[in-house]
Amino acid sequence: MLGKTAGGLYWMFRSLERAENTARLIEAGFRIALTRSTGAEAEWKSIIATSAAQDAYEAKYQTYESESVVNFLLQDTDYQSSVLSVIKSARDNARLVRTALTTEVWTSVNETWMVLTELLKNPIPQTELPSVLSTIRQQSAVVRGALHGTMLRNDIYDFCRLGTFVERMDSTARIIDVKYYSLLPAPSFVGSRLDNVQWETILRSVSAHRSFRWAVEDDFTAPAIANFLILDGRMPRSLRFCASKIVDNLGFLGMYDETPKKSLQLAQTLSARLKDRDISSVFEEGLHEFLMSVIVENARIGQQIELDYRFNS
Amino acid sequence: MNTLTSFFDEMVSGAGARSPYATYEAWFSGQDTDRLANKAKEAEAFFRKTGITFNVYGQDDAEERLIPFDLVPRILSNGEWSKLSKGIDQRVRAINAFLHDIYNRQEILRAGIVPIELIANNDAFLPQMIGFSPPGDVYTHIVGTDIVRTGEDDFYVLEDNARTPSGVSYMLENRETMLQMFPELFSQIKVQPVSDYPKTLRRSLEACAPQSCSGRPCVAVLTPGIHNSAYYEHSFLADQMGVELVEGHDLRVVDGHIAMRTTRGYRRIDVLYRRVDDEYLDPLTFNPQSMLGVPGIMDVYRAGNITIANAPGTGIADDKAIYSYIPDIVQFYTGERAILKNVETFRCSEPDMLRYVLDNLSELVVKEVHGSGGYGMLVGPAASKKELETFAAKLRAKPANYIAQPTLSLSTVPIFTEKGLAPRHVDLRPFALVSPNGVNITPGGLTRVALTAGSLVVNSSQGGGTKDTWILED
């Protein structure tokens, strides 16, 4: 496979994952704005922070109003991670790697781009927001379904999955980190019951408010939620899950390598840090410090994949 | 020449249908117009979803457009086709021989058949190709001859397109669409298949591999990238052939060969089907600003280590002044009379002809000698007085840049409209593949149709559409 093609597949699926994650974040924020008379602005601010978009946002707006945040994240083409921008980038990458995709995957991405470009053409009135967000998630599901249902399980598939999990690990880590301050205003809060709304939003941001109840027979305490999102191998957006998938896919790619590539070594190191450990040891390490190091290592893995598989040179 | 008021219609003659259309016409008259209108909409949605689009240059938003597809097929009998394909075969062989000659012994110039000025002063003539023979002596691996019809037996070649003909993906996709929309038609009417084209193309390119190549040749398609107007076609052809689609930055010279960067290191390429113009092919040899090509590819080429299809320098055969000599070129190299006619062509570089062209501008079609895609041309009968004056000034300023031709009364084939069938002008571009094993012409081609009533401009960049082209089995 061409190095450029591997890069196109990887970035196509990073972009699609990003679009979906942004839609989830907005959904969680929108719920707060609807159900709470106060606190919405702080919630929107934390969503912008999670997306690492403070500078870009504040260059345009002074306040964190629902409308401006939502339109910024959904349809601002000056912002390179808005849903509209990343969907275009996913589709451009898909065109670039057209020969590596099945017809189903290609048409689903192309259709997603057509549908969302039309949908996000104008600012979204609040009344339309739920249906717009649901369309974004539905379209992502269509692409994912086409990928799983029609693609050969070969190196092409591995690069698609790597893009998905590198992006998802970054997103989940950021969500926990931004919420960290509201979850744990002081270390003494560890173990205490959390404010209802805070636990709900963090779980909603990763679409896990139901699965948490089913999977974890525990109260909504900071350690229980942190454990679920960081260390639970069953939870498809947890850090541990993402890391082990990255190891798996890099392992398939390097099956015939005599010495493992550096990206695989890095991923194995990160994955080992997330396995077989107790959440209390994470709190001892310092949750924020721990998450920052995961974000940095994940980014290094991403860069090393680009080098090992010759995306650009 | 017919007058502009009477056109040859390929479907209807007098009260009935011409024989190639008889079965189709009977089928069509039994169809419900609303159902067909729905089918037409379905086809458009399918094209959009599949991304069969092209980018329009010179538009602000660089939007992607569909080439409108018309659901009424253009039908030719096997007899009509066999004359056409013989004529194309002959012409393609002659052009190939001509290219080899002008880059080597130049006998045709010495014989005084083609004037040397036409070659010497021509930007499309590449001095880098002098004294070099490409692998298998093939210059024009893929040719898309533009043919127009004006009467029952009157076919003319309008352009040879020996350089980088496009549109073959539409030939294939249009057929697929028709098969999906109207399967019942294909059981009633026996149409020669076109679907072998990608396989034949790959075999034909492999047969042109350099002699030094051992084992199965590695073929790749070189595209300028996703923003090129024909990108869809580039990716389609690579996909259908099962070969890599590469851009300049995927390639480099490794150990005297062209190689592509894969996830496992560099892999050698033997045949490059390039859809990048000569000028951008090698920044070390041609345009130094080019980011689309491969630095050093011309050295590899001249060392005989890669086949470039079509060969650099082939564009000289597409020059519209050279075109006017093609019947002589055919005669010179094949010893036969040209089977297909040329359109009468006035070379404005010659003072007498320029005077004639200026005096009769409102009745002529004027084209740039290097032009393509319908850009920069004047259709006299459709032009306003002001447009004629502006164009006359251009002609006087740079006469050698233009040729003129009579306005042909192109044949019509009906298109489907909500009000029923309506005749529109068409042309035809069959595709020929050349290798040392011979010339292979796929039965069919791209029929382009001017969608505006009365318009003679069929180019997709100017609002033309396409039709599926059927060659009947007899």
B chain contacts of residue A110, beta-carbon cutoff 8 Å: 49-51
What average pLDDT does this structure show over A11-30?
Answer: 93
Interchain pair A2, B48: CB under 8 A: no
pLDDT at residue A29 is higher than 90: no
**What's residue B4's pLDDT?**
45
- Report yes or no: B245 at the A interface, CB cutoff 8 Å: yes
Contact B128/A at CB under 8 A: no
Candidate from A80-84, A186-190, A244-248 with smallest mean pLDDT: A186-190
Size of interface A-B (CB pairs under 8 A): 54
Between the CA of residue B378 and those of A118, B150, B351, B404, B456, what are the distances in Å?
38, 20, 20, 9, 11
Handedness of CA A121, A125, A127, A129 (dihedral sign): positive
pLDDT in tens, A131-162: 999 999 999 999 999 999 999 999 999 999 99
Q: Look at A3 and B263 and tell me if their CB atoms are within 8 Å.
A: yes
What's the sign of the alpha-carbon dihedral A18, A19, A24, A26? positive
Angle at B403 between CA B168 and CA B449, to 5 degrees: 35
- B244-302 confidence digits (pLDDT tens): 999 999 999 999 999 999 999 999 999 999 999 999 999 999 988 888 999 999 999 99
Q: What is the pLDDT of residue B365?
A: 92
- The residues pairing with A255 across neighbouring beta strands, listed in sequence order, are none
Q: Residue B2: which pLDDT band, with cuts at 50, 70 and 90?
A: very low
pLDDT at A37: 66
Residues of B in contact with A96 (CB under 8 A): 226
The fraction of chain A above a pLDDT of 70, given in percent, is 94
For residue B227, is pLDDT > 70? Answer: yes
Which of helix, strand or coil describes residue A125? coil
B183 reaches A (C-beta below 8 A): no
- Please tell me the predicted confidence (pLDDT) of residue B374: 66
Residue B65's SS3 state is: strand
* Whole-number percent of chain A with pLDDT over 90: 70
At A46, the amino acid letter reads S
Share the mean pLDDT of chain B: 92
| Mean pLDDT confidence for B126-145 | 96
Of B77, B197, B209, B230, the C-alpha closest to B134 is: B209
Confidence of residue B3 (pLDDT cuts 50, 70, 90): very low
Q: Is the pLDDT of residue A205 over 90?
A: no
B51 pLDDT tier (thresholds 50, 70, 90):
confident
pLDDT of residue A73: 96
Cα–chain-centroid distance for residue B322?
Answer: 17
Instruction: Work out the average pLDDT over B167-179.
Output: 95
pLDDT of residue A135: 95
Q: Per residue, what are the HEC states of chain B?
A: CCCCCCCCECCEECCEECHHHHHHHHHHHCCCHHHHHHHHHHHHHHHHHHCCEEECCCCCCCCEEECCEEEEEEEECHHHHHHHHHHHHHHHHHHHHHHHHHCCCCHHHHCCCCCHHHHHCCCCCCHHHCCCCCHHHCCCCEEECEEEEEECCEEEEEECCCCCCCCHHHHHHHHHHHHHHCHHHHHHCCECCCCCHHHHHHHHHHCCCCCCCCCCCCEEEECCCCCCCCHHHHHHHHHHHCCEEECHHHEEEECCEEEEEECCEEEEECEEEECCCHHHHCCCCCCCCCCCCCCCHHHHHHCCCCEEECCCCHHHHHCHHHHCCHHHHHHHHHCCCCCCEECCCEECCCHHHHHHHHHCHHHEEEEECCCCCCCCCEEHHHCCHHHHHHHHHHHHHCHHHEEEEECCCCCEEEEEECCEEEEEEEEEECEEEEECCEEEECCCCEEEEECCCCCCCCCHHHCEEEEEEEEECC
pLDDT per position as a tens digit, B388-445 = 999 999 999 999 899 999 999 999 999 999 888 999 999 999 999 999 999 999 999 9
**How many angstroms away from the CA of A92 is the closest CA of chain B?**
8
Per-residue pLDDT at B50: 85
Question: Residue A114 is nearest to which of B48, B226, B250, comparing CB atoms?
Answer: B48
CB contact under 8 A, B250 and A3: yes
CA-nearest residue to A89 within chain B is B226
Mean pLDDT of chain A: 91
Chain A residue numbers with beta carbons less than 8 Å from the beta carbon of B50 are: 103, 106-107, 110
| Domain layout of chain A by residue ranges | 3-308
Facing B226 at nearest CB: one of A2, A95, A106: A95
Per CB-CB distance under 8 Å, the chain A contacts of B235 are 95, 98-99
